[in-house]
């Protein structure tokens, strides 16, 4: 059984059909890029993975568990903006990844000391230990997104969901963030879903690239049919996954 299984998922808002018959199986540790035209439901799909929305039909299971009805610690998320808490310092933002799950939302005593050590280790890993006591507003966009990723990782989610995480960054910072994300992924082997509108980014980072599009189109009623996964590319080895296999057979 695969790690994340999406079975016959439909979603619509009122009369407007957004997604139809979405089926996909994802193995643990895969990096899934989700691309598509704007308005094709890729963000809706991510919100359903997040359990922020529940599909009208079908179900999404993680590791065979029950379909979730609200966001929980299994699913970490990084949005394009507003993913960190502006009123907490950088260190406390990381600490919130552990502390928010407690009864009063804050670690105490020995647990807090241990948490602070882990937070500092995380800060060192994401390269933000020199700004640990600053507030997010004083960080650059790239630093804020690194903080958001570190905060999500601190909660040790089973699936990491990224909603156009680098969309608001300048090209140089974006490439640095790609490297950072690839390193993090290699270290942790986490399952990642990333929505992006940048095809190149999708193929560069993803093991698989899912393309969302509408297979049916009614020109008189654009909202009648929803989108679904029209292509499922294997993007490993620069999008030519079987080249080694072929070469091995030839010999």
Partner 1 sequence: MRHINRKPDRSTGVFLAALPFVLVVIAYAVGSEMRLSVNPQDKLLPAPSTIWDTAVRLFTQGDRRTGDILLWKDTWASLTRLLGGVGIAAAISLSLGMLIGLFPYARKTFAGFVAVLSMVPPLALLPILFIVFGLGELSKVVLIVIGITPIMTRDLAQRVLDIPHEQIVKAQTLGASSGVIALRVALPQILPRLISNIRLSLGSAWLFLIAAEAVASDVGLGYRIFLVRRYLAMDVILTYVIWITLLAFLIDWALKTLSRKSFPWMEAGL
The footprint of partner 1 (CB under 8 A) covers: 50, 52, 70-73, 75-77, 79, 81-89, 96-97, 100-106, 134-138, 148, 151-152, 155, 157
Minimum Å gap between C-beta 25 and partner 1 is 23
Closest to partner 1 by CB, 168 vs 175, is 168
**Looking at beta carbons only, is 75 or 174 nearer to partner 1?**
75
CA–CA separation, 145 vs 58, rounded Å?
33
Min dist CB 135 to partner 1, Å, is: 4
In the chain, the DSSP E strands lie at 4-13, 16-26, 31-36, 57-62, 75-78, 159-163, 191-195, 208-213, 228-234
In whole angstroms, the minimum distance from the beta carbon of 69 to partner 1 comes to 11
Nearer to partner 1 (CB atom), residue 158 or residue 178:
158
Task: Specify whether the CB–CB gap between 208 and 30 falls below 8 A.
Answer: yes
Q: Which is nearer to partner 1, 163 or 201 (CB)?
A: 163
**Rounded CA separation 151/222 (Å):** 40
C-alpha triplet 175, 232, 156: angle, nearest 5°: 55
Cβ 145 to partner 1 shortest distance, Å: 13
The tokens describing 37, both together, are: 């035209």
Say how far apart CA 149 and CA 110 lie, in whole Å: 25
Shortest CB 92 distance to partner 1, Å: 10
Strands of the sheet with 4-13, listed across from one edge: 16-26, 4-13, 57-62
CB closer to partner 1, 12 vs 72: 72
């Amino acid at each position: 059984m695969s790690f994340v299984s999406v079975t016959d998922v439909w979603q619509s808002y009122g009369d407007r059909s957004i997604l139809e018959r979405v089926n996909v199986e994802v193995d643990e540790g895969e990096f899934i890029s989700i691309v598509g035209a704007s308005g094709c439901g890729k963000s809706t799909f991510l919100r359903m993975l997040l359990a922020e929305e529940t599909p009208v039909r079908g179900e999404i299971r993680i590791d065979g568990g029950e379909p979730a009805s609200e966001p929980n610690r299994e699913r970490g998320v990084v949005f394009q903006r507003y993913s960190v808490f502006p009123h907490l310092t950088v260190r406390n933002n990381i600490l919130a990844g552990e502390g928010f799950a407690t009864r009063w939302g804050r670690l105490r005593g020995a647990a807090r000391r241990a948490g602070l050590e882990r937070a500092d280790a995380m800060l060192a890993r994401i390269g933000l230990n020199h700004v640990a006591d600053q507030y997010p507003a004083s960080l650059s966009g790239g630093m804020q997104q690194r903080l958001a990723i570190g905060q999500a990782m601190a909660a040790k989610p089973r699936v990491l969901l990224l909603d156009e995480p680098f969309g608001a960054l300048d090209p140089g910072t974006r490439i640095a963030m790609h490297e950072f994300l690839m390193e993090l992924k290699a270290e942790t082997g986490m399952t990642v879903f990333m929505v992006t509108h940048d095809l190149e980014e999708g193929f560069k980072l993803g093991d698989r690239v899912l393309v969302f599009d509408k297979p049916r189109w009614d020109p008189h009623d654009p909202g009648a049919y929803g989108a679904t996964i029209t292509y499922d590319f294997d993007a490993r080895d620069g999008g030519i996954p079987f080249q080694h296999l072929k070469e091995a057979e030839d010999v």
